Amino acid sequence: VIFWARYLTQLVTQPMLLIVLSFVAKFDTPTMVSIVAENVLLVMAGYLGSTTIAPVKYLWWMTSVFFTVLVSYQLLPTAKEQHAVYKNAVYATIVCLAIFNFLWLMGSEGSASLGLSQEVGLYVIVDVIFKSGLGLYLLFNYDAVCDGEDQEVSSQQYV
């Protein structure tokens, strides 16, 4: 069973969240574009893996994991330097992307170890936590991130 709508929503919403994280971290445009492109390739590799047969689909899954590692590799170094809100958001993003890959492997597109209702339920839970939860977390903590920026700017004005 291929849930093409899940891949379509991932193609739209995950880059949006990564763009928000990129703006918070003040990434330059090439870094932001590469993170978004890697995420699009991550989702497309998962979709292609779900449409192919057994030996080849696991190569697509490994490709998706590779792009997950690339996205994580670009987000993690900046997390140590940023505000705690950004750090928590990056960790949540990486964990959710890893869980998506694990669910793909265990679900109907991969080894079919999970039942269909279990797979759908877990995808919904992780999707709501990742997209809605992370979006609301960033929204409610926007002032904390901005206050830190104002202090840095005001302290640099007198130097």
Report domain extents, the chain.
4-147
pLDDT tens profile 48-90: 999 999 899 999 999 999 999 999 999 999 888 888 999 999 9
124's CB contacts (< 8 A; 6+ apart) are none
Instruction: Please give the torsion angle defined by the CA atoms of residues 70, 135, 49 and 72, in that order, rounded to the nearest 10 degrees.
Output: 10
Rounded to whole angstroms, the Cα distance separating 70 from 9 reads 21
Task: Check residue 129 and report its DSSP letter.
Answer: I
pTM: 0.86
* pLDDT recorded at residue 149: 59
Smallest CA-to-CA distance from 21 within 73, 88, 68 is with 88
* pLDDT recorded at residue 144: 82
Rounded to whole angstroms, the Cα distance separating 61 from 80 reads 29
* pLDDT recorded at residue 15: 96
| Confidence check: pLDDT of 117 > 90 | yes
Residue 112, Ramachandran bin (φ over 0: left; ψ between -120 and 50: alpha; else beta): left
C-alpha neighbours within 13 Å on the C-beta side of residue 47 = 15
Rounded to whole angstroms, the Cα distance separating 157 from 55 reads 60
pLDDT tens profile 1-54: 678 899 999 999 999 999 999 998 899 999 999 999 999 999 999 999 999 998
Q: Which is more confidently placed, 150 or 74?
A: 74
CATH 3.30.1330.10 assigned to domain 4-147? The reply is no
b/e sequence 28-50, b meaning 16+ C-beta within 10 Å: eeeebeebbebbbbbbbbbbbbb
